[in-house]
Amino acid sequence: MREAKPFKIQRQQVMDAYLRVKANRGGAGVDAVNMQEFDKNTKQELYRIWNRMSSGSYMPPPVKLVEIEKKGGGVRPLGIPTIADRIAQTVVADLLGQQLDKVFHEDSYGYRPNKSAAQALAKARERCWKYNWALDLDIRSFFDNLPHDLLMKAIRKHIDCKWALLYIERWLVAPVQKTDGTIVPRTQGVPQGSVIGPVLSNLYLHYTMDVWLQRNFPLCPFERFADDSIVHCQTEMHAMKVKEALELRFAECGLEMHKEKTKIVYCKDSNRRGNYHTIGFDFLGYTFKPRQAENTVRMVSFTCWLPAVSNKSMSSMRKKMKEWSTLRTAGCQIEDIAKEINPVVRGWINYYSKFYKTKLKSFMREINLRIVKWARSKYLKVRPTVLKGLRWLRAISDKQPNLFTHWTFGVLPTVEDRSRMR
């Protein structure tokens, strides 16, 4: 007779988790096994995960430390689990999501079904029009400093599944393996890059901030996406009180407000005449600040508080442009360039064109100039001047207007673009 497993986990749960991990295309962890290698023996690998999780013997391996550059400088440490561990985490994350999503605040937008960064940005814009002041909130190294004991207390408030609790505790203390092979134990924090991390961090900030703000400052609405938050206030004095109170609240919960990055912002526009030294903030890749707008009915311009793609985001996109290999290869064809860059540019447009498209369109003219630079290295007839290159590219856009994604967005090459040449 087959021995019964102490934990009842359906094999289909593991299969569903595998399909989700496979669709997300993650890289290899510390075992150097990528998805192609994993798929050589999928049935046996999935059985091993299910068997160990069901018996209570599953022990997560270390996570691989990978450091990526932030848009504003510095690096962000990511912990990359193995593919097998991501599948196991997904099994538990699905269970947590079903139980916890209905608990979360409506203005928590990060890593939740039917919630998005675009919704958070739209709500922030709407509230900045209603409230004169905003608190741009930053938590210092939130994911690295999150206390395990308080987090588990919050989890046990909603989850009583023994095997889920067991594995969450194990994942929280799974060590980190540095690039030199050094193994570092972890006693606090949730590794960014893990599958389980987003829902756990959301739950912790739900009680640390969301519920607390709603109870103590009910007249100050907020938007939160993971650890990025904007709180709205009617007066500067009120904003100062919220900031001071939140600083104490975070300290009680084992966190620290970043004093240099947290700032009180005046949402200045044509109707708000006063002056204040801080009249802008960045949120989810957009910069909110006073911008010129037009009343199409009265045909007059005015100052409105609006979001647009941030300078940090544009700097990050420029860095990506420099990495495009086809633009450094004279032997390729223009169709090869389109094939490489279109998926990336499409993603930029889908995200950064939600608000104030004018700035994004202006920025994307740089793509035309980079294509012209490539053409001048390839073709003698356009080599003498940028103007000749732009005319050549314009002729191609007339014949193939859908060749590049940014052309279909309305950023066709023009001779005026030469003034942008860096």
Q: Residue 35: pLDDT band by 50, 70, 90 thresholds? A: very high
CATH number at residue 35: 3.90.1850.10
Per-residue pLDDT of 300-348, as tens digits, reads 677 899 999 999 999 999 999 999 999 999 889 999 999 999 999 999 9
Can you read off the two tokens belonging to residue 36? 């192609």
Per-residue pLDDT reduced to its tens digit, 95-153: 999 999 999 999 999 999 999 999 999 999 999 999 999 999 999 999 999 999 999 99
With a cut of 70, say whether residue 3 has pLDDT above it: no
Give the model's pLDDT for residue 75.
78
Average pLDDT over residues 245-272: 95
Q: How far is CA 14 from CA 29, 35, 218, in A?
A: 19, 16, 42
pLDDT value, residue 266:
96
Q: Kindly report, residue by residue over 379-420, the tens digit of the pLDDT.
A: 888 888 899 999 999 999 999 999 999 999 999 998 777 666
Residue pointed to by tokens 């497993």? 5
pLDDT in tens, 352-378: 999 999 999 999 999 999 999 999 998
146: in domain:
yes
Q: Is residue 277 part of a domain?
A: no
Above 60 in pLDDT, residue 2?
no
273-312 tens-digit pLDDT = 778 889 999 999 999 999 987 766 666 677 899 999 999 9
Among 257, 291, 322, the domain-final residue is 257
Which residues form the domain of 367?
310-409
Which two structure tokens, joined as six digits, stand for 222? 């907020």
Among the three residues 219, 237, 257, which one is the final residue of a domain in this structure?
257
Q: What pLDDT sits at residue 169? A: 96
Convert the pLDDT of each residue in 204-252 to its tens digit.
Answer: 999 999 999 999 999 999 999 999 999 999 999 999 999 999 999 999 9
pTM of the model: 0.92
Does 340 lie in the same domain as 239?
A: no
C-alpha distances in Å from residue 45, one per residue of 350, 387, 417: 37, 59, 55
Long-range contacts from 360-367, C-beta under 8 angstroms, 24+ separation: 360/308, 360/309, 361/409, 361/410, 361/411, 363/309, 363/314, 363/317, 364/406, 364/409, 364/411, 365/411, 365/417, 365/420, 366/318, 366/321, 366/420, 366/422, 367/321, 367/341, 367/404, 367/406, 367/411
- The pLDDT > 90 percentage for the chain reads 82
The confidence score (pLDDT) of residue 69 equals 79
Task: Please count the structural domains in the chain.
Answer: 2
Is 329 found in the same domain as 203?
Answer: no
Note whether 167 and 39 are same-domain residues: yes
Looking at the fold, whether 253 and 314 belong to one and the same domain comes out as no
* 203, 324: one domain: no
Mean pLDDT of 169-192: 92
Is the pLDDT reported for residue 422 higher than 60?
no
Most confident of 25-34, 119-128, 189-198, 284-293: 119-128
Provide the pLDDT confidence category of residue 76 given band limits of 50, 70 and 90.
Answer: confident
How many angstroms separate the Cα of 1 from the Cα of each of 183, 262, 406? 41, 62, 64
H or E element, residue 77: strand 75-80
Question: Do the beta carbons of residue 134 and residue 233 sit within 8 Å?
Answer: yes
pLDDT value for 301:
76
Pair 199, 323 in one domain: no
